[in-house]
Amino acid sequence: MQGKIRILFIGDLVGEPGRAIFQKHIATIREKSAIDVVIVNGENSANDGRGITPTIMEFFKENGVDVVTTGNHVWAKKEIYPYFVDHKNLVRPANFPAGCPGSGVTVITTTSGVTIGVLNVQGRVFMRELVNCPFKAAESALTYLQSRTNCILVDIHAETSSEKIGMGHFLDGKVSAVVGTHTHVQTADERILPGGTAFITDAGFGGAVNSMIGMQTNIILKQMLTQMPAKYMVELNLPYQLCGVIITVDAQTGKATAIERLKIIDDMVQL
């Protein structure tokens, strides 16, 4: 077993632009940054920016993704429901009702023999879905995960900075990393918390730069001005961006030793 592992976490990929820029750059990132594990939030990766499909899961697998996390849009495409039965590389928030398909935790082993646990939870503040307490869900899930490994990453898919920061401090010293998703805006507060847990409030998103969190601005602005219903559409115009974090973890202790932001802007991506 090697002394450290390098985890690449990519924030919410939105539609075709998010998948395209990820596919273009992932091999280079892996080689340049000596990445051992790739985790992607894929709940917006369908063509319309809502949900995920089995075909997209195969796309992620072919491009070296080890685990895909999700959030409030995970059920947008019904064809993904059966996928959870036989696959452990896709997780949904652990604090969803027990009758939901799938699980909120998974465990993988890297080619170097390091076992890594991944936990997905969803926040409650300003979120429409009625879900159980993410803090209690995380605490319960750790009972299982900590019996398997010291190296654990948590994706908290939440609206407010305070709830995500709260989860970071709640789990500090108990997990290797807590990474926030959902708001699609990369924050500049990446750090190692006192107990050795890497943290960032939001990893950012992959998709069109000149958009509103990956969607066409004119539609959303009209909705804001008129308060009339509107169907959001993914922005396809270049340039695109890819955002995330690279986390270095001591494989023996599970403590993080470094976290660095990743942001790539590319105006030459082809769909």
Residues annotated catalytic, as ranges = 73
Q: Which amino acid is at 46?
A: A
Q: Is residue 14 part of a domain?
A: yes
The model scores a pTM over 0.85: yes
Look at residue 206 in the predicted model and tell me its pLDDT: 98
Check residue 51 and give left, alpha or beta (phi > 0: left; psi -120 to 50: alpha).
left
Q: Which of 47, 51, 12, 46 is nearest to 156 (CA)?
A: 12
Q: In tens digits, what is the pLDDT along the chain, a chain of 271 residues?
A: 469 999 999 999 999 999 999 999 999 999 999 999 999 999 999 999 999 999 999 999 999 999 999 999 999 999 999 999 999 999 999 999 989 999 999 999 988 888 999 999 999 999 977 899 999 999 999 999 999 999 999 999 999 999 999 999 999 999 999 999 999 999 999 999 999 999 999 999 999 999 999 999 999 999 999 999 999 999 999 999 999 999 999 999 999 999 999 999 999 999 9
Q: Is residue 199 part of a domain?
A: yes
Q: Is residue 223 part of a domain?
A: no
The domain containing residue 35 runs over which residues?
A: 4-212+239-266
Look at residue 2 in the predicted model and tell me its pLDDT: 65
Q: Is residue 222 part of a domain?
A: no
Q: Is residue 233 part of a domain?
A: no
Q: Is residue 229 part of a domain?
A: no
The number of domains in the chain is: 1
What is the CATH number for 66? Answer: 3.60.21.10
Q: Are 52 and 43 contacting, i.e. CB atoms less than 8 angstroms apart?
A: yes
Q: Is residue 219 part of a domain?
A: no
Following DSSP, what letter does each residue of 43-71 receive, concatenated?
Answer: TT-STTSS---HHHHHHHHHTT--EEE--
Q: Is residue 129 part of a domain?
A: yes
